[in-house]
Amino acid sequence: MAQLIPYDDRDGYIWMDGELVPWREAKVHVLTHGLHYASCVFEGERAYGGHVLKLREHTQRLIDSGRILGFENPYTLEQLEAATNEVVAKNGGGDLYVRPLAWRGPEQMGVSAQQSRIHVAIAAWQWGAYYSDLRLTRAIYDRPAPSTAPVHAKAAGLYMICTLSKHAAEAKGFGDALMLDYRGYLAETTGANLFLVIDGEIHTPTPDCFLNGITRRTVMDLARKRGVPITERHIKPDELREAQEVLVTGTAAEVTPVRAIDDTNYQLGPITGQLMDDFRALTRGREMAA
């Protein structure tokens, strides 16, 4: 296994509560509410050639996720966008992964923390492909119902079942887990949205209990431009057997073909290939081929 470079021991700068601080100095106290009670929301963004793709959408989602968790981000949309651009430039620009987060600080301990200060940080680093040769297995946890958790926030607490599911999948030799929802319908992987191609048409689960990913919406637009019919609906796991292609989308994952789900194998088919090409053209700033 490659040598791990811990994330607290790297070169660069992190924007934290309004100023750029040297990477190794961007620290929090152990009695931070966000650490104990998951009162923390975050984003995952990618900069291509120094420009963050869909910066407005990601920044708005960070603010909205905080509101869903009952707090107001102390910075405006414009201030957060400017800070993100500053972090990207300060860390060398180019192709970077960007991680903004907002959390409740150490002013109060205990479940209630209404008076806690909201802290914000933005980091950026080089991060290559998220998945390679992706094989999925059924997750050990399901996506919770909207009445069980704030499912439309990109909230740290929701990732507890993702990390556990992904670890269990990795222990079985798979790259990630395929999560069903609380009703037993197909949902997503632990960090990306799911698409099936059945007889030349795209089918994707309705995002009513998981993130309607920004990449998901971008890829749906790309498919529409190519005239590929798309249906959003509740999809049963059995329907995976009827699919000729399966793919996942996400900021980190970009557009990734799924090679297998448990013992069913899939080819990298023409629709997935086209979407990968179109997404690459979009992120590399080239005009999409007609």
Which of these ranges, 84-92, 197-205, 220-228, 249-257, lies near ligand PMP under the rule CB under 6 A? 249-257
Our finding on whether 202 is near ligand PMP (CB under 6 A) is no
The radius of gyration of the chain's CA atoms, rounded to the nearest angstrom, is 19
Q: Copy the structure tokens of residue 91.
A: 């860390």
**198 vs 28, 136, 175, 229, 231, CA distance in Å?**
48, 18, 23, 10, 11
CB closer to ligand PMP, 53 vs 243: 53
Q: Which position has the token pair 């009703």?
A: 183
CB of 212 to ligand PMP, least distance (A): 8
Report which of 227, 149, 132, 228 is spatially closest to residue 187, judged by C-alpha positions. 149
- Any contact of residue 192 with ligand PMP (CB under 6 A)? yes
122 binds ligand PMP (CB under 6 A): no
Among 136, 211, 220, 247, binds ligand PMP (CB under 6 A): 211
Q: How far is the CB of 178 from ligand PMP (least distance, A)?
A: 12
What x/- string results for residues 138 through 157 when contact with ligand PMP is judged by CB under 6 A? ----------------x---
Pull the structure tokens for residue 264: 């069913």
214 lies in the binding site for ligand PMP (CB under 6 A): yes
Backbone angles phi, psi at 98, to 5 degrees: -120, 135
From 33-41, 117-125, 212-220, 258-266, span contacting ligand PMP (CB under 6 A): 212-220
For ligand PMP, the binding residue among 75, 250, 261, 283 (CB under 6 A) is: 250
Minimum Å distance from CB 211 to ligand PMP?
4
Token output for 283: 């992120």
CA distances (Å), origin 102, targets 84, 87, 120, 185, 270: 13, 16, 4, 31, 40
> Using CA atoms, how far apart are residues 242 and 257, in angstroms rounded to an integer?
16
Q: Does position 46 bind ligand PMP by CB under 6 A?
A: no
Choice among 27, 54, 154, 172 that is catalytic: 154
- Look up 90 and say whether it is catalytic: no
Q: Are 153 and 41 in contact (CB under 8 A)?
A: yes
Q: Which residues are catalytic?
A: 154
Residues that bind ligand PMP (CB under 6 A): 44, 154, 188, 191-193, 210-211, 213-216, 249-251
